[in-house]
Amino acid sequence: MPAPIADRIAAEVKDNPVMLYMKGTPDQPMCGFSATVVQVLKSMNVPFKGTNVLDDPELRQGIKDFSNWPTIPQLYIKGEFIGGCDIVREMHASGELKKLLQDKKILNVA
């Protein structure tokens, strides 16, 4: 029997320093909000894993329950829930996202 969905998510956000739950894939986002977050991460050359929730109805609901967040995309950095498209966009514009990624040793300090 597969692990309950919350255990799967907990393991995935632990194993992947930058983990994005999205609609579609990083190369083919299926939603504008997911595409925006992918674009931000790619523009910063951040390695990340993107999991397509559309492939898995259990995950699509499970990630909403896990994060207490009703929408997709959802970004995790080092296991910490960062937010969705609005928050990623604001943090990118203000430079906070870059600083966070540097503080977490995911990006090198330029």
**Number of residues forming the site for another protein (CB under 8 A):** 18
Binding another protein (rule: CB under 8 A), the pick from 5, 10, 31, 100 is 31
Backbone angles phi, psi at 50, to 5 degrees: -115, 125
Among 90, 102, 103, 104, binds another protein (CB under 8 A): 90
Using CB under 8 A, which of the segments 7-15, 29-37, 42-50, 101-109 binds another protein?
29-37
67, HSE (Cβ side, Cα atoms, 13 Å): 25
Distance linking the first and last C-alpha atoms of the chain: 46
By the rule CB under 8 A, 100 interacts with another protein: no
Residue 16's H or E segment, with its range, is: none
